[in-house]
Structure 1
Amino acid sequence: MPLPLLKKVLPAQTRLSLRKFFWLSRSWLYLGTNVYCPLCERSFRTFLPFGKERRSQALCPRCHTLERHRLLWLYLQEQVHLQERSLAVLHMAPEPIVQQRLHALPNLLYRSADLTSPVAMDRVDLQALPYATASFDLILCSHVLAHVPDETKALQELRRVLKPQGQLLLQARLHPQEKTLETPEAVTPLQRQQVYGQSDRFRKYGQDFGERVAAQGFTVQAVAYANSRPAEEQTRLGLGLQELIFVATHPAHEVA
């Protein structure tokens, strides 16, 4: 049966289960000791290339996480200490393996949310979150904001549901230009594909991403966490050397 027809016939959860089975089956071909994925906790001879630019050493053969996922997981373990603290966590647009690891921690009150994802626990619009004010100690929002029509509303909602002493961890694909590219005239999927490179994007973030987050009432710190490790460990773990973690907090809360 052709792949497009399978997508129409099979439920999303079934397709995801089949995809996971394929990944697990294929991962045995890459067993080795050269690289290590901290999310699925397996070693391989190589990570796989991924992306339109075909980034080498990007994709885990087993759990299909990328550089940014592995980097975030290490930060959560080593800096947030999420395995040792009782935290209410909101995970926007959850990556399956990250959700699996977080949901399994008994000390976390965990919710995942997305508008369309079949693995998310809650079906929500980031521009109008259904949660009470000051509900979460920790919010994860990785590569999501570029896909939200109204960035301002989304950030204001994230700030509303974040506790005063909480942290919002953001990641985004940043392009070399200084200013974020937004073209209001690009209203159709085809136009957005032409302008931003993806039909579901509403902007192409530049180096001003942190400033845009700060403009909505946050204190923002950009953390180049991969640089905290020796070069050989960066390679072994397949970390995104250009990937930043933006730690956003309420202004009165100092980031450690």
Structure 2
Amino acid sequence: MKRHRLLYHYLINNTELFSSKDSRNILHFAPEKAFYDILSKMEHLNYYPGDLEPENYKFYRKTNIYKVNITNLHFEDNFFDVILCNHVLEHIMEDEVAMAELYRVMKIGGWGIFQVPIDFHRDKTYEDPTKTTPDERYQAFGQLDHVRWYGIDYPERLKKAGFEVHDIRYTDQFTAEEKFKHGFPEKESIYLCYKR
């Protein structure tokens, strides 16, 4: 997918996640196979891929996928060096609770990337808890299982949980030709969050 290619490009070129040999605890929500295949083979990492429904994954290999509830994580405080949460929060009714849990389990000095779909024409995130059926949610939020459209206030929501947020307009760094060549989305930010 386009967003996976963009995230991989960012991680490989702007972080030491794949190049460092330091031992790290990594939490990865709703693990995409492409990232799972890389991270689960890195012997020095303590890799925790997790999902609310791990039984739905068909690519179990060395590392099992843990059953985790992002709004009630069973990990201790200050445990993870890195957290990857790619297009998960838009599915979570209590996203503020989820963000607080992400902050709690991240180590001081740790970092995470928390991607969500953004409507860049929307100043404020749109939510409506009365939209409960798949059809209503599709009409309101663009997908059957989404519960909101995040606006450009998304970084402020993360900051309320305690994070230092860097809104990196990553796709703006590439020409139209480069985005086409690499198969990147037309417009997507990287939301890099630190716990200081």
TM-score normalised per structure 2? 0.87
Alignment of 1:102 onto 2:102: no
How far did residue 159 of structure 1 move? Answer: 0.3
| Structure 1 counterpart of 2:13 | 78
Structure 2 gaps of 5+ residues are: 58-63
CA RMSD of aligned residues (A): 1.8
Question: Does 1 or 2 have the higher relative contact order (CA < 8 Å, sep 6+)?
Answer: 2
For the residues of structure 2 that align with 1:222 and 1:216, how far apart are their CA atoms? 16
How far did residue 228 of structure 1 move? Answer: 3.7
What letter matches 1:142 in structure 2?
Answer: N
| Structure 2 counterpart of 1:178 | 123
Q: Helix, strand or coil: the match of 1:164?
A: strand
For the 8 Å contact 1:84–1:107, the answer to whether it is kept is no
The one-character-per-residue Cα deviations of 1:56-80 (angstroms, maximum 9, x if unpaired) are xxxxxxxxxx111111112211221
Q: How many residues align?
A: 186
Q: Which moved more, 1:145-154 or 1:100-109?
A: 100-109
For the residues of structure 2 that align with 1:188 and 1:223, how far apart are their CA atoms? 34
Structure 1 gaps of 5+ residues are: 1-65
Q: Residue 50 of structure 2 is aligned with which of 113, 118, 138?
A: 113
Structure-2 change in CA distance of 1:183 and 1:132 (3 Å): same
The one-character-per-residue Cα deviations of 1:195-217 (angstroms, maximum 9, x if unpaired) are 22323211111111111111111
How far did residue 231 of structure 1 move? Answer: 4.8
| Structure 1 counterpart of 2:60 | none
For the 8 Å contact 1:167–1:249, the answer to whether it is kept is yes
How far did residue 104 of structure 1 move? Answer: 1.4
| Structure 1 counterpart of 2:61 | none
For the 8 Å contact 1:143–1:173, the answer to whether it is kept is yes
For the residues of structure 1 that align with 2:92 and 2:113, how far apart are their CA atoms? 17
The one-character-per-residue Cα deviations of 1:77-136 (angstroms, maximum 9, x if unpaired) are 122111214221111011111111111122321111111243371111100011111111
How far did residue 243 of structure 1 move? Answer: 1.1
| Structure 2 counterpart of 1:23 | none
How far did residue 240 of structure 1 move? Answer: 1.9
For the 8 Å contact 1:90–1:110, the answer to whether it is kept is yes
Alignment of 1:145 onto 2:81: no
Could you tell me the percent identity over the aligned residues? Answer: 34
| Structure 2 counterpart of 1:67 | 2
For the 8 Å contact 2:172–2:187, the answer to whether it is kept is no
Q: Helix, strand or coil: the match of 2:157?
A: helix
- Structure exhibiting the larger radius of gyration computed from Cα positions: 1
TM-score normalised per structure 1? 0.68
For the residues of structure 2 that align with 1:131 and 1:77, how far apart are their CA atoms? 27
Q: Residue 132 of structure 1 is aligned with which of 76, 94, 101?
A: 76
How far did residue 229 of structure 1 move? Answer: 4.4
